[in-house]
């Protein structure tokens, strides 16, 4: 397993290919930790979503159709502060729960996605690349307030899409 060097970009993507399957690592540089901690202590929930899209370049006469999307995944964490146990609780989208007694431990975990198996099988040959982006909702709106997010992205931070060439 080899990981590429962490770049200085916001999304800091790294990747490995294990038995043809893409494993990605993402981490948000300079995360809005203070803002998130404030929101959690107010009794609100926060959410982070890591967007990964894997493409294969199209060549020949069909180039005008754009590159082929091989696969995509959007793992997400939801965070909250449990004032009854004085712990930060992070729930992943596969319903696993992680508890953190200290803010630094929580921040380190929450803003990174280490070694995530995307279940995207990379095709043989060259010309594959991935686009990554991280979206942080400092306040995860509850229904029906989440209607707001349809019109205005309140309290949301989104990094630009970062392109990383995948060397097999």
**Residue 137 binds other proteins (CB under 8 A):** yes
Please write down the HEC assignment for all residues of 69-137: EEEEECCEEEEEEECCCCEEEEEECCCCEEEECCHHHHHHHHCEEEEEEEEEECCCCCCEEEEEEEEEE
Could you say whether residue 95 binds other proteins (CB under 8 A)? no
Residue from 146, 165, 167, 168 that binds other proteins (CB under 8 A)?
Answer: 146
Footprint of other proteins on residues 149-168 (CB under 8 A)?
Answer: 149-152, 154
92 near other proteins (CB under 8 A): no
What are 51's strand-pairing partners? 133
Q: Which of 15, 24, 37, 45 binds other proteins (CB under 8 A)?
A: 45
Q: Smallest distance, Å, CB 50 to other proteins? A: 12
What is the number of H-type helices and E-type strands within the chain? 3, 11
Q: Which stretch binds other proteins (CB under 8 A): 79-87, 108-116, 125-133, 158-166?
A: 79-87
Q: Tell me how far apart the alpha carbons of residues 121 and 23 are, in angstroms, rounded to a whole number.
A: 10
Binding residue for other proteins (CB under 8 A) from 67, 108, 141, 162?
141
Residue 148, SS3 per DSSP: helix
Interaction between residue 147 and other proteins (CB under 8 A): yes
Residue 109: name the closest of 123, 92, 133 by CA.
92
Sites of contact with other proteins (CB under 8 A): 42-45, 47, 49, 74, 83-85, 137, 139-152, 154
């Amino acid at each position: 397993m080899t990981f590429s060097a962490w770049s200085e970009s916001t999304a800091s993507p790294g990747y490995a290919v294990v038995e043809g399957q893409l494993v990605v690592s993402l981490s948000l540089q300079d995360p809005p930790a203070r803002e998130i901690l404030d929101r959690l202590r107010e009794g609100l929930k926060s959410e982070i979503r890591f967007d990964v899209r894997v493409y294969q370049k199209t060549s020949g006469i069909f180039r005008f159709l754009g590159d082929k999307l091989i696969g995509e995944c959007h793992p997400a964490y939801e965070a909250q502060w449990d004032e009854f146990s004085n712990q930060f609780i992070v729930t992943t989208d596969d319903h696993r729960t992680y508890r953190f007694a200290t803010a630094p431990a929580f921040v380190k975990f929450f803003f990174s996605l280490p070694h995530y198996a995307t279940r995207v099988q990379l095709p043989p040959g060259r010309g594959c690349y991935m686009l990554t982006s991280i979206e942080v909702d400092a306040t995860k709106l509850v229904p029906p307030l989440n209607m707001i997010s349809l019109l205005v992205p309140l309290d949301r931070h989104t990094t630009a899409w970062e392109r990383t060439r995948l060397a097999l």
